[in-house]
Amino acid sequence: MALPRTVLRPLGGYEMYSSSRHSLGLYENVITVCRYTLPAGQSETQVKASIRQAVTTHFLEKLPALRVGISGEETKKPEFVSLPLLDLNDHLEWVSRTPGLASDEYDAQLMRELERENARPWLDVETHSPWRVVVYLNTTDGWADVAFALHHALGDGKSGLIYHGLLVDELNSQTVSVEVDEKEGSTVFEFTEQPELVPSQETLVKFTFGWTYLVGTLWKEMGPAWLTGAPKHEAYTGPRVSLEPKLKGYLRIFHLAPEHAAALLAGCREHKITLTALVHGLLMVLFARRFPADVAKAFSCSMPISMRPYIQKPAGMTLDVNRNMANLVSAHSFSYQEDSIADGRDVASTAAEDDEKVWRAAALLSTSLKERLANVTENNILGLMGWINDWHGWWTRHEGKVRDGTWAVSNTGSIPATGEVPVGAPAPQWKRTRNFYTQSSLGKDSLINVNVGGVRGGEMSFIVAWHHGVVKEEFADKFANDLHACLENYGKTGHFSVPNRLSE
């Protein structure tokens, strides 16, 4: 007998942040996409059956959060609830690839699909768990792009990679070919045990605050606007926040070939910085060479930080946070000031000297991030999210305010082509060759958002995203093309060759 729907726990602060923007129609999901090579010799029916079995194993055995709904999203006190049943047909979909498309044509088509998916509403989240798997199947060429879409209150970007890690493990553990008649068997599953959820971030991470920071932050967020005054914000962040149009965003994607990705990573190691820092440094120079000094005196950028390394596991907690979905994330912001922007704006006489401008900008970001990571649990606004008692009002109050930043970069890192392979097991048949993610377009976001992901020893993928009306499409397209060209140039020649667009 299926269990009744039961309240599991209230949403934590960051979970309410995500849930409230969903209920206002401002944000739907985060989507993690991996490309899988298909086992040789399997029919389309066998491929579908294998994926269906793996997805079913996930919510039955591996990821209890996939059996959870959200009650009271429109209220100030939403709650996670267990669901008595799940219909697989509500969560697994198939899309056939258009035959005859070149790789870049397919990528463009996929971006249009993902733009729609990022804006696609969930069914009633109180009775239907808000996640889905969309498989873009290409049996002719022997691969499938598997997109895992998730309501952000159920998990962060890392959660998408956890899902795909379990997926490739399950696919490669199927010792015999699975073949079933798709019309046979029920797609509805009833549950007899309550799912266990990872506790909220503020339960797992011990945040500490100084009184000056605590009082100043709470006053800024909750104090009367006529007393707190207008924000001091010298960074160029474009037009002020407009929450309309909702969910209308654009995506561009490009990939670096394995040899070019390897050269880029080697350059980062040589300069003792991370790929994330390099991308920030390159973005700063690209922006500096688009906006003159009288327009842009400073730039503001941000990046997420995983809080999984900082958790303190409560006694009795059995879930492994590195193999379960959760929202365990913080952020770091940094501002580039006039002197560093002037350095980036000035084109050097040689390619080598010009490259050093990018590396210097990257080093500034890297130093700032290292300092923040050393005390990331101290005076961190993520630990105060539970103090806000009206998240819906918090969102609407941002209309017309200064935008958060000029750009943001999120790097989910590189993943192995295959999952965990036991000693003596057959060679994996399912391998991942691409990894990237997209998310719903939010009118409050930075001008340009860049997401980076890759496969170890393989391709590196970059998503460039922006909200409608924040920048012109022509500007964003050219910006994405320049970013691609600079990274690819470095992979080929060891030089970025950053263009100067100030005269355009």
Q: In what order do the strands lie in the sheet with 143-150?
A: 92-96, 131-138, 143-150, 30-37, 431-439
E strand spans, 56-128: 68-71, 79-82, 85-87, 92-96
The DSSP bridge pattern shows strands 131-138 and 143-150 to be antiparallel
Report the pLDDT value the prediction gives residue 228, as an integer from 0 to 100.
40
The three-state (H, E, C) secondary structure of 182-250, written as one string:
CCCCCCEEECCCCCCCCCCHHHHCCCECCHHHHHHHHHHHHCCHHHHCCCCCCECCCCCCCCCCCCCEE
pLDDT at 249: 97
Tell which residue, 499, 439, 468, has the closest CA to residue 159.
439
Task: Report which of 19, 165, 155 is spatially closest to residue 79, judged by C-alpha positions.
Answer: 19
Backbone angles phi, psi at 229, to 5 degrees: 80, 175
Q: What homologous superfamily does CATH list for 203-413+442-493?
A: Nonribosomal peptide synthetase, condensation domain (3.30.559.30)
The residue type found at 416 is P
Write down the domain spans for the chain: 7-190, 203-413+442-493
Distance from the Cα of residue 254 to its chain's centroid: 16
Q: What share of the chain is helix, strand, coil (3-state, %, to 5)?
A: 35, 20, 40
Q: Which CATH class is domain 7-190?
A: alpha beta
pTM to 2 decimal places: 0.95
Amino acid (1-letter code) at residue 167 = L
Is the preceding peptide bond at 78 cis, omega within 30 degrees of 0?
no
Task: Please give the backbone phi and psi of residue 233, each rounded to the nearest 5 degrees, phi first.
Answer: -150, 100
Distance CA 391, CA 10 (A): 14
Q: Decide whether 7-190 matches 203-413+442-493 in CATH topology.
A: yes
Q: How many CB atoms lie within 10 A of CB 455?
A: 21
Sheet holding 299-306, edge to edge: 249-256, 460-467, 448-455, 407-415, 299-306, 329-336
Which of 213, 203, 215, 222 is CA-nearest to residue 379? 213
Instruction: Quote the CA–CA distance of 128 and 191 in Å, as a whole number.
Output: 14
What is the distance between the alpha carbons of residues 353 and 161, in angstroms, rounded to a whole number? 38
Q: Rounded to an integer, what distance in angstroms lies between the CA atom of residue 462 and that of residue 472? A: 20
CB 76 within 8 A of CB 390: yes
pLDDT at 100: 80
Per-residue pLDDT of the chain (504 residues; tens, 9 = 90+): 567 789 999 999 999 999 999 999 999 999 999 999 999 989 999 999 999 999 999 999 999 999 999 999 999 999 999 999 999 999 999 998 877 889 999 999 999 999 999 999 998 999 999 999 999 999 889 999 999 999 999 999 999 999 999 999 999 988 655 444 444 467 999 998 899 999 999 999 999 999 888 777 766 665 554 444 444 558 999 999 999 999 999 999 999 999 999 999 999 999 999 999 999 999 999 999 999 999 999 999 999 999 999 999 988 888 999 999 999 999 999 999 999 999 999 999 999 999 999 999 999 999 999 999 999 999 998 888 888 889 999 999 999 999 989 999 999 999 999 977 666 667 889 999 999 999 999 999 999 999 999 999 999 999 999 999 999 999 999 999 999 999 999 999 999 999 999 988
